[in-house]
Chains A and B, each alone.
Chain A
Amino acid sequence: MSERRIRVLVAKPGLDGHDRGAKTVASVLRDHGMEVVYTGLHKTPAMIAEIALQEDVDVVGLSILSGAHMELFPRVRQELVERGLDHVLMVGGGIIPGDDMQVLEADGFAKLFGPGTNTDSIAEYIQTEISKRWAAEEAQA
């Protein structure tokens, strides 16, 4: 049996053009053996959810540095739920004040990463969380 690889969608919602972080994280996750799809810039929440559905991803990672996270992050989550993708692990990063991180983490986001985060720790977090979920799925099956 070939090893199951984690599929990740790295997405840039909204008008924000800052993609240094998103592209860096995408490359690092690939180095950790994950299959990574990067959406490119300027995507609406619906477009992101559509791509997540088509690509059958395990993880959606959002990046925003435009201050619009409190509007756009929950809308992406809602679009995913509407497509039956509530099981997808949702993470995000960018310029996000701590208070906002707490609100989002209480509302469907597994974890948010701020500036200065070690990128390997993002990969390790995703591997740990997805392994737990897959183990639970197997136990159920």
Chain B
Amino acid sequence: MTETKPISIPEGRQAWEAALEAGKLRDSDFTSLSGSTLEVVYGPEDAPGDPVEDLGWPGQFPFTRGVHPSMYRGRLWTMRQFAGFGTARETNERFKFLLDHGQTGLSVAFDFPTLMGRDGDDEMCRGEVGQVGVAISSIADMEQLFDGIPMNEVSTSMTINGPAPILLAFYIACAERRGLDPAVLQGTVQNDILKEYQAQHAWLVPPEPALRMITDVMEYCTEHVPKWNTISISGYHIREAGSTAAQELAFTLANGLEYVRRGIERGMDVDSFAPRLSFFFDSHLDFFEEIAKFRAARRIWARKMREEFGAKDPRSWMLRFHTQTAGVSLTAQQPENNIVRTAYEALAAVLGGTQSLHTNSMDETLSLPTEKAVKIALRTQQIIAEETEVVHVADPLGGSYYVEALTDKMESEAEAYFNEIKRRGGVVPAIDSGYFQKEIHDSALSYQRAVENGSKKVVGVNCYSEGEESLEIELHRIRPEVEAESLKGLASLRADRDATRATAALDEIRAACNSSANLLQAFITAAHADCTLGEISQVLRDEFGDYIEPKIL
């Protein structure tokens, strides 16, 4: 038997490169979903990070490996399906359905009138009431929405931004009417206006007064609703609007840092409010790129909070996040395939250490999801949690040369964007000049071109397609009576309330707009006086003006 001499790492690499050179490669695009160049294989020299400084252990600074020491052995992520349609009564029924099937938190989807701060009877809202979410115009609607649901036990997430402080006021006032102390309430309000101007486009007033209201929410909740997450700083919509993974990461964290600056400028101690900031990311189809993004997000945030803002409470350093699988990755063609896409995306979110997760339903490129589709989406999470055994080990991909190299790359790309934003005068001036909007549009366009020239493949769309297949899945339709019912509810609310008290509450808001009074406090008073969302929003528009988007094309 001949003795084989061990070869050194550089020798091995040389031999491998020679073999690679000699072989043939498929004629294919080998870039990441975001278009980044990828190596054939990654080695130790690609991931030179320090195991202590750059990784640490789960629950330790800089939290690259997760925010909890035991990760999912201690507690699984919250399975939180975003839901809302039609009237408050219908959505209340869907919430009870989801809770009965093992969902552990609620997440409210509002309709466009609500998202834009308008009542259903506004002329701008015809045809939109209850369509993409539930219509909530007053405390009465909020009471209906949570009828029979214990607000002191369930945690509730509300996806609302421009009028977020008003909807939060309805929720707090609703709990107060039930005799609950707001201090027991748990949940999250998205309340992230910066990404609205950048990507999602549901705003109420211009950036500066909007930021003032957000700071008011942070201040009020720190004192009165301490378990509430006051902002869910969201990359999801930036990504869905077309950004790359690195842009999603960088823009979202830049927005988060802006909120922190505003809180400190208000005179608050950073550790008094930073632990209540949470994040919301997209999980797209590029499995490793997404996992790297989540890991980099935690590391960047921890460093910025400790080093730039001097936060001392470890909870201020921890980036906790919700994830939603990528709606844009779903196809209308062969829609059952979307179950598979969503499962991979959900697995990436779990391996990336998410705290809560929404899995999309297979039929969402066609309409709001049916109960059957929602149940499959929820079961997808339950299969990951209960059957795959991936949940037992924290940060299972930590130490993978590839994942560590991608994590480092994400961090350096984000830093480059932070510098660019700084060069442009900060987040708000960069919004005003259309910088983010243009960057996102350019990325969306280059992805669309890659799909159309075939370098990026979409199964059922530009490969393995079956022509004009007829769709054989059931669609969820909104009842046509929803709009009329909502209008009737509004009319009776206005007829039955104490008109003097409602007018006084609106006047108080007007005065608060022009003083340093806390607007959330004024909104809660107005909620108790049965003022509507549209009435309160109109006062804000009168006082603060409308927002006009910059033209980018």
Contact = CB atoms under 8 A, between A and B. Distances in A.
B452 A119 contact: yes
B127 A26 contact: no
B295 to A, nearest CB: 27
B553 A23 contact: yes
Interface string A13-28: 0111111100110111
B460 to A, nearest CB: 8
Contact of A27 (B201, B549, B553): B553
B125 to A, nearest CB: 7
A115 B331 contact: yes
A2 to B, nearest CB: 24
Contacts of A103: none
B124 interface: yes
Nearest to B331: A116
Contacts of A114: 332
A38 to B, nearest CB: 6
Size class of the contact patch on chain A: 20 to 34
Contacts of A135: none
A33 interface: no
Given A15-B112, A119-B452, A26 B553 contact: yes
B448 A24 contact: yes
Contact of B128 (A27, A71, A97): A71
Nearest to B458: A116
A38 B553 contact: yes
Given A15-B116, A116-B458, A97 B366 contact: yes
Size class of the contact patch on chain B: 35 or more
B255 interface: no
Contacts of A41: 201, 549
B448 A15 contact: no
Given A14-B112, A15-B113, A67 B549 contact: no
B482 to A, nearest CB: 11
B365 interface: yes
B240 interface: yes
Q: Is the interface of B mostly helix, strand, loop or mixed?
A: loop
Contact of A15 (B128, B365, B367, B445): B128
A120 interface: yes
- Max count, chain B CB within 10 A of own CB: residue among A42, A70, A98: A42
A40 B437 CA distance: 12
A15 B240 CA distance: 18
Interface in A60-105: 66-68, 70-72, 95, 97-98
A118 B99 CA distance: 40
A24 B201 CA distance: 16
B399 to A, nearest CB: 37
A98 B132 contact: no
Interface string B290-302: 0000000000000
A71 B120 CA distance: 14
B332 A40 contact: no
B173 interface: no
B127 A23 contact: no
Nearest to A10: B553
Interface string A104-119: 0000000000111011
Contacts of A42: 116, 124
Given A17-B201, A19-B201, A38-B553, A72 B127 contact: yes
Given A40-B551, A118-B452, A71 B126 contact: yes
A44 interface: yes
Contacts of A38: 553
Contact of B461 (A16, A66, A95, A116): A116
Given A17-B201, A24-B444, A98-B471, A44 B128 contact: no
Contacts of A17: 196, 200-202
A44 B331 contact: no
Given A23-B444, A24-B448, A95-B366, A14 B332 contact: no
A67 B131 contact: yes
A14 to B, nearest CB: 6
Contacts of A24: 242, 441, 444-445, 448
Interface in B171-187: none
Interface string B180-200: 000000000000000010001
A15 B241 contact: no
B118 A27 contact: no
A66 B458 contact: no
Nearest to A17: B201
Given A14-B128, A114-B332, A116-B332, A40 B549 contact: yes
B499 interface: no
A91 B51 CA distance: 57
B452 A67 contact: no
A20 B240 contact: yes
Contacts of A119: 448, 452
Contacts of B461: 116
B127 A71 contact: yes
Contacts of A97: 366-367, 475
B536 to A, nearest CB: 17
Nearest to A65: B132
Contacts of A27: 441, 445, 553
A15 B119 CA distance: 12
B124 A44 contact: yes
Interface string B355-384: 000000000011110000000000000000
Contacts of B448: 24, 28, 119
Given A97-B367, A116-B332, A118-B452, 13 more contacts: A15-B112, A17-B196, A17-B201, A20-B328, A23-B553, A27-B441, A68-B127, A71-B127, A95-B367, A98-B471, A114-B332, A119-B452, A120-B452
9 contacts: A15-B202, A23-B445, A41-B201, A42-B116, A42-B124, A44-B123, A67-B367, A71-B127, A114-B332
Q: Which 7 A-B pairs rank lowest in CB-CB distance, beginning with the nearest? A: A71-B127, A17-B201, A67-B131, A15-B112, A68-B127, A115-B332, A68-B128
